Amino acid sequence: MNIIDGKQIAQNLRNDIAQQVKKLDRAPGLAVILVGDDPASAVYVRNKDNACKEVGFYSEKINKPADITQKELLDEVERLNNDDKIDGILVQLPLPKHLDANLVIETISPEKDVDGFHSENIGK
């Protein structure tokens, strides 16, 4: 029986991706929006940021206060939709109760929707 070393496989993948990124004219860019201060979400976002840096991606980590308004959050998503350095947008869920997560997800450009939650990406 062979035991799979998941950590080694993941490291090999990251190494391969880093080599491919070096051949590109421009590094892919990921923006992650974290609203509030949920500790588990903060760890997840930090790990994504570190993984991006390890493979040579441009990474933009955006922290917003828990009391951000719906309009302010949607404006931030629209800014990222229009930013040519950003190829993917991830809004860390769950959002605070006063925010409509579905509206936020639908505001993300389907082409930049990292999670694949936009209705166009899930086939609705």
Prediction pTM value: 0.89
CB 30 within 8 Å of CB 114: yes
In the predicted structure, residue 2 carries a pLDDT above the cut 90: no
Domain boundaries, the chain: 6-122
Residue 108 burial (C-beta neighbours within 10 Å; 0-12, 13-18, 19+) = buried
User: What pLDDT was estimated at residue 118?
Assistant: 94
pLDDT in tens, 58-81: 999 999 999 999 999 999 999 999
- The per-residue pLDDT for range 4-59, each reduced to its tens digit, is 999 999 999 999 999 999 999 999 999 999 999 999 999 999 999 999 999 999 99
Residue 62: phi and psi, rounded to 5, are: -115, 115
Fold of 6-122: Rossmann fold (3.40.50)
Contacts with 52 (C-beta within 8 Å, 6 or more apart), sequence order: 30, 58, 59
The catalytic residue positions are 48, 92, 115
Cα–Cα distance for residue pair 94/38, rounded to 1 Å: 9
Residue 18 parent element (H or E):
helix 6-22
Structure tokens belonging to residue 88: 């993917």
Contact 54, 28 (CB under 8 A): no
